[in-house]
Amino acid sequence: MEEPLSAWFQANGRDLPWRDTKDPYAILVSEVMAQQTQVSRVLPRWERWLELWPTVRALAEASPADVIREWQGLGYNRRGLNLHRAAQHVAAHGWPEDLTDLPGVGRYTADAVACFAFGRDVLPVDVNVRRVVDRTGHEFSSASAQALMDLGATVCLARVPRCEACPLATACPSRGQRFEPLRKQGPFEGSFRQRRSATLRVVSEGERYPASGSAFVARTQGAPIVQLSGRPRTRPRAARRRREAAELAAGCTSTMAAMVGSLATLLIPVWILLGLLFLLGSVALLGRIQGGRYLRPLVALIAKVPLFRRWMQKASNAALERSNPELASAMKKMQRTGAMRDPMKAQAAMSQLTRDERRALLDLQDQQGSGVPPEATNRQMRRRLEKAQKNAKRR
């Protein structure tokens, strides 16, 4: 597998500047920076770092504050401090035989520096190399280290590998498979890492001046914010009390708002019930004033809606059937024969009615002609008969 891998690397390998040097210090800096940081972000920072401290002795002579200030943006500031301590160790004692003796240098970083800088026959295994080795089941030599890193970073991806572009696909037993995603780190926005980075940035960029004796204070925008030693010039108790009072007021306000919102939610059914009662009371009152004079226009307006008109007709017919079934049956027969619209057909329709139905219809006509109050009869039937009579006179 190493022959096609080498050919692929010659054509598709990443052009990284630390691959053009054998300086163990430059390679160590690149490996430490690339730990859990994207290579695209490491490239400009690596070049700037070597411009500031081109040798391991130059870094060893720098102050930890300068190192932290330059490391800002790469994350995990402890890596920068460990790199600074490792440079101090190398400047004092030289490069050790076992590179894991350096502060912050683990097995992979030690193997990478040993392979790429000192030419030792050891394969540095990071997550990308481990992924390719596990999926292919092949043991690779140290000569394929950089090719394996690029293959795992660009082709043999963690979840959905690009097997169609892989030079090892023909002999790979894992070709075409999909894999479960590994646990990812939480978002940086709003995390403790972001707050820690902002604090360190303020501390490192602040103006320092003597506070008392050998003490110094990080200063920004004219106000001391961090007391490193000595007596603080600000009054932290007063500031803390003001902050606690503000937090208490904000908590009380939010609690009251939540209580009011909950109470309003609980009272929604009560408000709905009160609205329905008010509507029913208004309708009943309009029906009693002057015999329903003010209610009739409202009912007529509602009756223009087809849905309500059908509902009102069904309700009226049902009420008539309960109060006077003979009259209801007679009205249905008269409507089917068309006698309600054509008086000429009324005589023929009357002959089809039973004795009880004819008597109920005649009683209704007598009541309407004798000046009986409208409330004594069914209003809906009376309006239908009046309308039919008006249409008959027009014709």
In the numeric block, the tokens 């520096």 are attached to 113
Task: Say which residues have a Cβ less than 8 Å from residue 116's Cβ, sequence separation at least 6.
Answer: 18, 19, 22, 27, 124, 145, 146
Size of the chain in residues: 395
Residue 31 is among the residues annotated as catalytic for this protein: yes
Does residue 217 sit in helix, strand or coil? Answer: strand
Closest to 385 in 3D by CA, of 365, 360, 359: 365
Give the Cα separation of 45 and 395 in Å (integer): 101
3-class DSSP state of 13:
coil
User: Please, are residues 206 and 220 in contact by the beta-carbon 8 Å criterion?
Assistant: yes
231 Cβ neighbours under 8 A, 6+ residues apart: 211, 212, 215
* Catalytic hit among 2, 3, 31, 47: 31
- H or E element, residue 224: strand 223-227
Tokens of 350: 């009357």
Backbone angles phi, psi at 294, to 5 degrees: -85, -10
81 within 8 A of 64, measured Cβ to Cβ: yes
Could you tell me if 154 and 16 are in contact, meaning their C-beta atoms sit under 8 angstroms apart? no
- The HSE-up count of residue 201 (CA atoms within 13 Å, CB side) is 11
Please identify which residue in the block is written with the tokens 């390998």: 13
**Residue 37 carries which DSSP code?**
S
As annotated, the active-site residues are: 31
